[in-house]
Structure 1
Amino acid sequence: MIRNDLRNIAIIAHVDHGKTTLVDEMLKQGGVFRENQEVADRVMDNNDLERERGITILAKNTAAYYKDVKINIIDTPGHADFGGEVERVLKMVDGVLLLVDAFEGPMPQTRFVLQKALDLGHRVIVVVNKIDRPDARTDEIADEVLELLLDLDASEEQLDSPVVYCSGRDGTASLSPYQPGKDLQPLFETILEYIPAPQGDETAPLQMLVSSLDYNEYVGRICIGRIDRGSMKVGQEVAITDYYQKDKTTRGKIATMFQFDGLKRVPVEEAKVGDIISISGLENITIGHTLTDVNCPEPLPFVRISEPTVEMTFSVNDSPFAGKEGKFVTSRHLRDRLYKELLKDVSLRVEDTDTTEAFKVSGRGEMHLSILIETMRREGYEFQVSTPRVLFKEIGGKLHEPMEHLVVDVPEESVGSVMEEMGRRKGELIHMAPQGNRMRVEFSIPSRG
């Protein structure tokens, strides 16, 4: 069965390339907001920290409509520390919009996420955004993206990707960089034409891989995923299975089921193949579990989460000024809050230590942990943290450390001092190439600095 009334897409982009702004415009023109409704900018970044830092931290699900086709749009994080979110989200979609800035071009994080999308065989639509910039290099950027696709071993079909030129801020799209667009219609048309419709057997036993989690005080854990096979109804009993631990199968009942419609979750009674839905009522479910038919428990393989690279110790504040800043100050408060975070952030690790006053917390990077610290501080938690420590790992009897891929864009005259500084931090030069009157220099550098 092919669902011609549905498309599932993800947006891949580097930090600040205008991804969330473009999604806002797609929602406005896709009929999600009333014509007279005032809409805040970057409606997708609905977390205070996201608005302040101008970045997307959590993957968001939303949907727009065009010509009676529902387009599920998943806005993915663009920062390396939140890459774990991206890998899982890509399993829910059939194609991706690769968004690149008309001046900066493809960046390292774009490369990391795009590689994962290509490995899954997804079709790619290249969206060159911010073409209204005075310093835009539209032609060169299209060539750079093609070089990147070649570099990442894209298939012939993936290399033949259409290019759409957009201004997310103005809400326009065009198939030619020299012909300004009026609205986003060319982008919507390209999505319908080029991204395959979801397909699967609606009559077969149910299969749904849990790709994302949310948590709500009232209903508990909410799991989000796409139905790969079969259909699902509210009240149905399902088996909760794990591909890597097939003997640990439990059962549960679907209490409520929601689909995404614009920025809202709309309750539904039934969902079919290809639908992206969120479900509540299942205890102890986590990312990577598969919901299946009770009589046919066939779990789906799951992308393992990337390992943490940085660790910090969170402990009770024992300074002379303890208790003056926050409401939640005891070790029990701290422990409960950290373990609650594990319910929705699977890239995080929390370990108890020899003392009940301190906990080891490890994550994908300093940004990942700093977001957690700031979120807890705003919630009224008071605690102290140690300096970040890089995690080492023993592989084949040898100690290994995490490495970073660093890309520096600098004026030509500054290249010498950059290389000198990187040499001090044990950085190895990998690649150097001119970009107009600037140089792009790439290094491999240890995380510990």
Structure 2
Amino acid sequence: MQNIRNIAIIAHVDHGKTTLVDKILHSCQLFRDNQETGELILDNNDLERERGITIVSKNVSVNYKGVKINIIDTPGHADFGGEVERVLKMADGVLLLVDAFEGAMPQTRFVTQKALALGLKPIVVINKVDKENCRPEEVHESIFELFFNLEATEDQLDFPVIYGSSKQGWMSTDWNKPTEDIFPLLDAILEHIPSAPVSEGTLQMQITSLDYSSFVGRIAVGRVARGVIKENMPVSLVKRDGRIQKSRIKELYTFEGLGKIKAQEVKSGDICAVVGIEGFEIGDTIADFEKPEQLEVIHIDEPTMNMLFTINTSPFFGKEGKFVTSRHLRDRLYKEMEKNLALKVVETESPDSYLVYGRGILHLSVLIETMRREGYEIQVGQPQVIIKEVDGVKCEPVETLIVDVPGEVAGKVIELVTQKKGELLVMEPKGDLQHLEFEIPARGIIGLRNNVLTATAGEAIMAHRFKAYEPWKGTIPGRLNGVLVSMEKGQTTAYSIDKLQDRGRFFVDPGVDVYEGQIVGEHIRDNDLVVNIVKGKQLTNMRASGSDDNVRIAPAIKFSLEEAMEYIQNDEYIEVTPKSMRLRKIYLTENERKVNAKKFA
């Protein structure tokens, strides 16, 4: 056996996974003492740093007591499950990191289930035991129950537990006895995680992720499953559908610290990056030149939601973006499909529009946000769930929704969820909160988060995961209020916003350019209202005493991209450009909207 351990880190969002990896990197003295590294070293793209979440899985390695430990950081959100499913193939064990108060959250369960099914050995790390209201013993028991319910083997149920605080930089086998460092965790990895097996025979390596370099192009990353891979070696690339392409490896790299180092050869069990193979996709196998044998193709769960992506057709088209044509949009979406396995793009009857299928609102919004930062101008329609026919019955995706709220507002949350066809299954106290579990159609979750956060003054903690396809639950009421739509193109004035404040709440400030058909606010009633928001005050040279008071305007409501995606209805678009985001009607003039009203009924 060789001195390599491959380990994936699983955790729910915000449980301290990336912080723990930072501490491991520092403890193994990867950096010089005077080197500035910052925090959250692995969350290296802007979006990940801003949102504080991991979106793309990454590899690093450290050396500890002469053993190379390859660490694979995985995303915690179920929306990025496609990322997780493929990278677990590279690991021999998993580190399950849970918060000492919250315990195992629903999205941790999703990834844990995948890991246990692959037969990986778990080590449980109960983090944040320095928090006041932590309950490490209860969390330990709940994880044992979770593993039992997920049909873990006897060996997996006999898991070691390490307690600690990755923020303070210590780990220990007993939470009442803090240590000075995190070495007890690294010792547990060496002791309990099996070393990477050496498998003799002809070469087999599955490509499980992609890297990109502007110098050499696309780089294939994966773990060598069998045999040895060498520089300059002729190989066969076995595609997912069984076709075989002949190729040659130009350069080989292994992971060392945060970077890569060049290697002459890599033996089975280690993770490496391969340069020089053309036209590969994730899931393909790099195999022997003469006798290629394919590894089992990675199976990815199907998407549950789709959205229409189309080029920007608003009157402000092309003012802010660099890439605005349908060719740009098509090329970008197909390029994304190469590395984003859970994404699917389907062409529509219109050459300017594409249906993009994804795992959920967050999955699709990260793609939209990335595109807008790259300089694309696009419009997106209302997210739609994917409906299937199972044995002749119309079925839709149903999710398990978990909400933790203060007891006094639990009733409001139950009322909101049941309006959306949710069913309450569990209600029990959890610390000073009420723990609620529902089953709810995926359609019902769209737009629910805003309402729940408003009703609970922002105190609700919500998480959901896909359960199964179940028979159609009937119609769900959409947005309760209509919208205020601009009737003119021009610049908004404080005077007109002030005069219209009793009609609803506005999304735009004074002095902003708007166009006809743009949604500028929310109406107090359930119908849409067309308003003139650009009208100025009639100026005369007479002063009217008392009526020339300063206008007092309520602050405009600003949506995040996800909130806007949950807010719009099927006759509306979100216009997304590098600098701004606007809501608009698909048909801009009132006359066109009346003519086409039946389409959206």
Using structure 1 for the length normalisation, give the TM-score.
0.96
Instruction: After TM superposition, give the deviation of residue 187 of structure 1 in Å.
Output: 0.3
Give secondary structure in 2 for the equivalent of 1:33. coil
1:319 and 1:417 map into 2 onto residues whose CA distance is: 39
The equivalent of 1:333 in structure 2 is: 328
The structure that has the greater radius of gyration is 2
In structure 2, the CA distance between the partners of 1:218 and 1:355, relative to structure 1 (3 Å rule), is farther
For 1:213, which of 206, 210, 213 is the aligned residue?
210
For 2:278, which of 278, 283, 287 is the aligned residue?
283
For 1:320, which of 315, 322, 330 is the aligned residue?
315
The equivalent of 1:226 in structure 2 is: 223
1:396 and 1:269 map into 2 onto residues whose CA distance is: 55
Paired letter, 2:231: V
Of 252-261 and 215-224, deviating more is 215-224
The equivalent of 1:238 in structure 2 is: 235
For 2:256, which of 242, 254, 261 is the aligned residue?
261
Give secondary structure in 1 for the equivalent of 2:316. coil
Q: Check whether the contact 2:6–2:196 (CA below 8 A) recurs between aligned residues.
A: yes
Instruction: After TM superposition, give the deviation of residue 174 of structure 1 in Å.
Output: 0.6
Q: Check whether the contact 2:198–2:267 (CA below 8 A) recurs between aligned residues.
A: no
Residues 331-375 of structure 1 deviation map (CA, whole Å, 9 limit, x = unaligned): 111111111111211111112222221221111111011111111
The equivalent of 1:30 in structure 2 is: 28
Of 303-312 and 7-16, deviating more is 303-312
Q: Is 2:379 the counterpart of 1:384?
A: yes
2:270 and 2:167 map into 1 onto residues whose CA distance is: 30
Paired letter, 1:245: D
1:312 and 1:260 map into 2 onto residues whose CA distance is: 37
2:81 and 2:101 map into 1 onto residues whose CA distance is: 24
Q: Check whether the contact 1:215–1:343 (CA below 8 A) recurs between aligned residues.
A: no
How many residue pairs end up in the alignment?
444
Q: Is 2:65 the counterpart of 1:67?
A: yes
Paired letter, 1:379: E
Of 409-418 and 82-91, deviating more is 409-418
1:215 and 1:400 map into 2 onto residues whose CA distance is: 40
Of 207-216 and 86-95, deviating more is 207-216
Instruction: After TM superposition, give the deviation of residue 95 of structure 1 in Å.
Output: 0.3
Instruction: After TM superposition, give the deviation of residue 40 of structure 1 in Å.
Output: 1.1
1:60 and 1:245 map into 2 onto residues whose CA distance is: 27
1:29-428 alignment runs, 5 A limit = 29-202=27-200, 204-242=201-239, 245-246=241-242, 248-428=243-423
Of 51-60 and 379-388, deviating more is 379-388
The equivalent of 2:561 in structure 1 is: none
Q: Check whether the contact 2:307–2:382 (CA below 8 A) recurs between aligned residues.
A: yes
Instruction: After TM superposition, give the deviation of residue 255 of structure 1 in Å.
Output: 1.8
Paired letter, 1:51: R
Of 250-259 and 91-100, deviating more is 250-259
The equivalent of 2:426 in structure 1 is: 431
1:279 and 1:443 map into 2 onto residues whose CA distance is: 46
Q: Check whether the contact 1:8–1:94 (CA below 8 A) recurs between aligned residues.
A: yes
Residues 407-447 of structure 1 deviation map (CA, whole Å, 9 limit, x = unaligned): 11123333332222211111122333332332222112111
RMSD: 1.4
Instruction: After TM superposition, give the deviation of residue 90 of structure 1 in Å.
Output: 0.9
Where do 4+ consecutive residues of structure 1 move more than 6 Å?
none
In structure 2, the CA distance between the partners of 1:399 and 1:213, relative to structure 1 (3 Å rule), is farther
Instruction: After TM superposition, give the deviation of residue 215 of structure 1 in Å.
Output: 3.3
Give secondary structure in 2 for the equivalent of 1:422. helix
Q: Check whether the contact 1:214–1:344 (CA below 8 A) recurs between aligned residues.
A: no
1:305 and 1:216 map into 2 onto residues whose CA distance is: 26
1:153 and 1:343 map into 2 onto residues whose CA distance is: 34
Q: Check whether the contact 2:173–2:184 (CA below 8 A) recurs between aligned residues.
A: yes
Q: Check whether the contact 2:7–2:70 (CA below 8 A) recurs between aligned residues.
A: yes
2:98 and 2:323 map into 1 onto residues whose CA distance is: 43
Paired letter, 1:364: R
Instruction: After TM superposition, give the deviation of residue 218 of structure 1 in Å.
Output: 3.3
Identical positions, percent = 54
Paired letter, 2:66: D
2:245 and 2:395 map into 1 onto residues whose CA distance is: 38
Q: Check whether the contact 1:215–1:344 (CA below 8 A) recurs between aligned residues.
A: no
Q: Check whether the contact 1:31–1:65 (CA below 8 A) recurs between aligned residues.
A: no
Residues 181-224 of structure 1 deviation map (CA, whole Å, 9 limit, x = unaligned): 1101100000000000011324x101111111233343232211
Paired letter, 2:136: T
Q: Check whether the contact 1:314–1:385 (CA below 8 A) recurs between aligned residues.
A: yes
Gaps of 5+ in 1: none
Paired letter, 1:208: M
Residues 26-66 of structure 1 deviation map (CA, whole Å, 9 limit, x = unaligned): 01112211122122110100010000000000011111111
Give secondary structure in 2 for the equivalent of 1:402. strand
Q: Check whether the contact 1:221–1:343 (CA below 8 A) recurs between aligned residues.
A: no
Instruction: After TM superposition, give the deviation of residue 132 of structure 1 in Å.
Output: 1.3
Paired letter, 2:93: G
1:425 and 1:267 map into 2 onto residues whose CA distance is: 55
Instruction: After TM superposition, give the deviation of residue 298 of structure 1 in Å.
Output: 1.4
Instruction: After TM superposition, give the deviation of residue 229 of structure 1 in Å.
Output: 0.6
Instruction: After TM superposition, give the deviation of residue 236 of structure 1 in Å.
Output: 0.8
2:219 and 2:164 map into 1 onto residues whose CA distance is: 35
Residues 115-150 of structure 1 deviation map (CA, whole Å, 9 limit, x = unaligned): 111111111100001111122111211111111111
1:393 and 1:304 map into 2 onto residues whose CA distance is: 19
Q: Check whether the contact 1:206–1:230 (CA below 8 A) recurs between aligned residues.
A: yes
Q: Check whether the contact 1:100–1:106 (CA below 8 A) recurs between aligned residues.
A: yes
Instruction: After TM superposition, give the deviation of residue 399 of structure 1 in Å.
Output: 2.2
Of 209-218 and 56-65, deviating more is 209-218
1:46 and 1:313 map into 2 onto residues whose CA distance is: 29
